[in-house]
């Protein structure tokens, strides 16, 4: 682990120093979108697009092929320079300042002499809203389910700026000296090779047929608004921004989504970030912070009104927003907050509101905008500016700290990029960051975005909910006609209902959840036909009566299994079905249980292995518990044993009894074959398997003799063959234990499978 103090100097040795800025004109030969598409699939590419005719919509910016990547979560910092990685603990803002200071002096000198552009060298990326916890001591009561970086920036070696006003595109490449040699020719070669390659086809994208799902119901959102109004009435706050988050499955191209949204509704601060393992697509209209030397600007937005269908209606709606007392009061409140924020780092008396309640027209909506300006105080820098104002007051509330506490209390998930910031910070005293609203994250084959609104004392809870739906409409509607019907969409059967797995609910007081008070059966289903169903249900019913002391469920399991297999599109495939029964929590109910069926496609263990058998390792923690007589939900021991085996490079863990005799593996029963005898290990507590019984009966019919006795590890090496078995895999031979090979097996296991599967 590197230290924060030593890392920046070491990083400069690896990444090199900047000795100049290579500049040349570039012919786009088409739209900037088509040009940028060539780079969109490269991790570390950032594209900042300025849409519309707004006075802050002048430049398109492309940054690609990063020579330095900087990410961090809380104080865990990761920096990649060339192919070298640095991990250390440090404050993310201190690290940001160290990176900027390492390259600022010489680049600023170069820029001041002969280059006129908003950005020629520096970093592009994002600051997530959750970075607030590095600035303030705040309660953290919401879930961080995405586990993405709080700060993520890339220093590009290829920078293309398109000046829309002059219709001129320019290439900027920081001339780096690495190990005493310039790498400019390499960066130029990469750039020219990309331009010389075939223009990529724009890929499509799709979402779920059922559309987006919110983490709030309508009633819960309305109740949360009412709770904020109570806080306001009690004097805690004047305003709080409350958001709901939507998500659904996503397939296809994030850049394709980006281009589609831009064509539908261009705004000043469109952003696309390919962060490697996730993508950010932003359609924001709001500037957070602009720096040009010592000149600062912020442009808060409060108030939204849809555009009219006719010129007369359009004018009427614009005036209605302009004259709205509620929206005007909200904007004035946030302007005062931002004046105070800028006042922390600006020269005394320099902060002023240059324009207030300006009506700005966009393709689909009107907004009320104010412009607050200031002059940066001496010895202050970009990091000071961000720390003074982050996160933007227009999307937190007032006062900011208490508003953020309430947001965390009422919103179930961390916001990540939503209401954070996206943009660039240069090495030559320029910066432009947007507020990340109308912004989507694409990660783990899901698309996630949030919409919210500022809640004040006279807010109508029902109107506030409707406003969030209106704000999210553009992103939602872009998927219409692009829905993908998934034939294997995951459904579960729960207490008589078939539900999408995302909507299935188990009471948190269910004793199966609290204590593992329950059990399960796993059944192999071949093309809709359950194997050994009678035997599985017999064992299920016996376990039910042992644990629950109740009459067994009166269900035709074959029909239920057919329903769940059919709902998941698995009728023509091999599937694994798991039946789960857990003790409920309602003692007054005659049916005080949760019954659950889930299914998944099943691929045999050997299908993805070169070796036709399994390698075992002995688990170092012996096991003996009466719960092992049944397939209870207390399965963590076996789960951890299996994960431990995989880390050791094996397929299964061999479980021992406390006296070091053989018990089973973490998923299967064991049989030893010696001459014409099959031997079952005797273990004080082990579940007799359905497949074990089937295999034993088959071997008896083939003339084998059955024997049960205690077995030691040495006995496995003396056997002619060791076979493990369960209902999914059938029978599989064991090849080695702890890396030591067993006797060369016969094809007996294959003959067994041909008969039983």
List the catalytic residues. Answer: 286, 302
Total-model pTM = 0.80
Are residues 257 and 281 in contact, defined by beta-carbon separation less than 8 angstroms?
A: yes
Domains of the chain: 4-136+146-294+376-477 (3.60.120.10), 491-602 (3.30.470.10), 611-756 (3.20.10.10)
* Parallel/antiparallel/unpaired status of strands 239-252 and 397-398: antiparallel
State what percent of residues in the chain have pLDDT above 70.
97
Please tell me the least confidently modeled range out of 38-42, 220-224, 439-443, 582-586. 582-586
Distance CA 260, CA 252 (A): 13
> What integer pLDDT is reported at residue 1 of this predicted model?
44
pLDDT by residue (tens digit) across 101-149?
A: 999 877 766 655 556 789 999 999 999 999 999 999 888 888 888 999 9
3-state secondary structure 236-268: CCCEEEEEEEEEEEEEECHHHHHHHHHHHCCCC
Give the integer Cα–Cα distance in Å for 497 and 494.
5
Q: Would you say 736 and 651 are in contact if contact means Cβ atoms under 8 Å apart?
A: no
H or E stretch including 749? Answer: helix 748-756
Whether residue 523 is predicted with pLDDT greater than 80 in this model: the reply is yes
Mean local confidence (pLDDT), 598-604 = 93
Which tens digits make up the pLDDT trace of 569-595?
999 999 999 999 999 876 655 667 889
Report whether pLDDT(400) > 90: yes
Please list, in sequence order, all residues whose beta carbon lies within 8 angstroms of the beta carbon of residue 621, skipping any fewer than 6 positions away: 637, 641
Say if CB 410 and CB 224 are below 8 A apart: yes
């Amino acid at each position: 682990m590197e230290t924060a103090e030593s890392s920046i100097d070491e990083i400069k040795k690896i990444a090199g120093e900047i000795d100049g800025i290579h500049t040349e004109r570039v012919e786009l030969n088409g739209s900037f979108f088509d040009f940028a598409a060539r780079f969109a699939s490269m991790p570390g590419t950032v594209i900042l697009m300025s849409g519309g005719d707004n006075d802050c919509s002048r430049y398109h910016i492309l940054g690609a092929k990063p020579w330095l990547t900087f990410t961090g979560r809380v104080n865990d910092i990761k920096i990649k320079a060339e192919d070298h990685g640095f991990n250390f603990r440090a404050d993310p803002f201190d690290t940001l300042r160290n990176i900027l200071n390492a390259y600022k002096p010489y680049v600023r000198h170069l820029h001041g002499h002969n280059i006129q552009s908003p950005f020629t060298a520096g970093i592009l990326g994002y600051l997530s809203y959750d970075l607030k916890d590095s600035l303030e001591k705040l309660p953290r009561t919401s879930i961080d389910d995405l586990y993405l970086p709080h700060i993520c920036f890339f220093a590009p070696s290829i920078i293309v700026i398109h000046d829309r006003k002059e219709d001129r595109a320019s290439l900027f490449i920081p001339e780096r000296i690495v190990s005493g040699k310039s790498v400019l020719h390499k960066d130029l070669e990469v750039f020219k090779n990309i331009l010389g390659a075939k223009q990529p086809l724009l890929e499509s994208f799709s979402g779920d047929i059922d559309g987006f799902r919110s983490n709030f119901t309508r009633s819960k959102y309305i109740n949360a608004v009412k709770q904020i109004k109570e806080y306001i009435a009690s004097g805690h706050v004047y305003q709080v921004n409350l958001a709901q988050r939507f998500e659904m499955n996503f397939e296809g191209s994030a850049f394709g989504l980006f281009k589609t949204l831009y064509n539908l509704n261009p705004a000043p601060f469109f952003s696309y970030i390919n962060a490697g393992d996730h993508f950010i697509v932003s359609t924001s209209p709001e500037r957070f912070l602009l720096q040009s030397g010592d000149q600062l600007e912020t442009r808060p937005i409060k108030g939204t009104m849809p555009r009219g269908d006719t010129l007369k209606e359009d004018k009427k709606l614009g005036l209605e927003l302009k004259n709205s007392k509620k929206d005007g009061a909200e904007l004035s409140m946030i302007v005062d907050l931002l004046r105070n924020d800028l006042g922390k780092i600006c020269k005394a008396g320099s902060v002023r509101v240059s324009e207030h309640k300006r009506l700005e027209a966009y393709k689909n909506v009107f907004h009320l905008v104010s412009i607050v300006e200031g002059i940066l105080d001496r010895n202050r820098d970009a990091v000071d500016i961000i720390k003074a104002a982050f996160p933007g007051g227009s999307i937190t509330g007032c006062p900011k700290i208490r508003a953020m506490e309430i947001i965390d209390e009422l919103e179930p998930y961390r916001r990540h990029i939503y209401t954070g910031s996206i943009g660039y910070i240069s090495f030559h005293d320029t910066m432009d960051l947007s507020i990340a609203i109308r912004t989507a994250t694409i990660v783990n084959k899901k698309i996630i975005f949030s919409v919210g609104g500022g809640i004040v004392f006279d807010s109508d809870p029902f109107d506030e909910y409707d406003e969030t739906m209106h704000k999210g409409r553009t992103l939602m509607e872009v998927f219409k006609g692009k829905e993908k019907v998934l034939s294997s969409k995951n459904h579960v059967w729960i207490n008589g209902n078939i539900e999408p797995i995302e909507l299935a609910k188990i009471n948190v007081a269910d004793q199966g959840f609290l204590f593992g008070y329950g059990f399960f059966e796993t059944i192999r289903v071949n093309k809709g036909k359950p194997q050994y169903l009678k035997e599985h249900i017999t064992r299920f019913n016996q376990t039910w009566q042992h644990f629950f002391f109740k009459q067994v469920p009166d269900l035709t399991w074959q029909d239920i299994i057919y329903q769940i297999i059919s709902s998941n599109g698995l009728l023509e495939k091999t599937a694994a079905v798991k039946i789960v029964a857990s003790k409920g929590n309602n003692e007054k109910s005659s049916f005080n249980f949760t019954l659950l069926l889930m299914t998944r496609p099943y691929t045999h263990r050997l299908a993805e292995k070169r070796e036709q058998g399994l390698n075992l390792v002995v688990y170092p923690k012996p096991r003996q518990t009466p719960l092992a007589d049944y397939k209870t939900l207390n399965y963590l021991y076996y789960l951890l044993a299996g994960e431990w085996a995989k880390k050791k490079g094996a397929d299964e863990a061999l479980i021992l009894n406390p006296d070091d005799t053989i018990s089973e593996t973490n998923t299967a029963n064991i049989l030893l074959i010696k001459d014409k005898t099959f031997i079952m290990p005797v273990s004080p507590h082990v579940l007799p398997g359905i497949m074990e019984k089937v295999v034993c009966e088959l071997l008896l019919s083939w003339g084998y003799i059955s024997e049960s006795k205690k077995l030691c590890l040495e006995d496995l090496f003396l056997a002619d063959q060791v076979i493990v078995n369960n209902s999914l895999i059938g029978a599989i031979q064991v090849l080695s234990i702890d890396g030591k090979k067993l006797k060369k097996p016969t094809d007996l296991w294959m003959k067994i499978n041909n008969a039983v599967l």
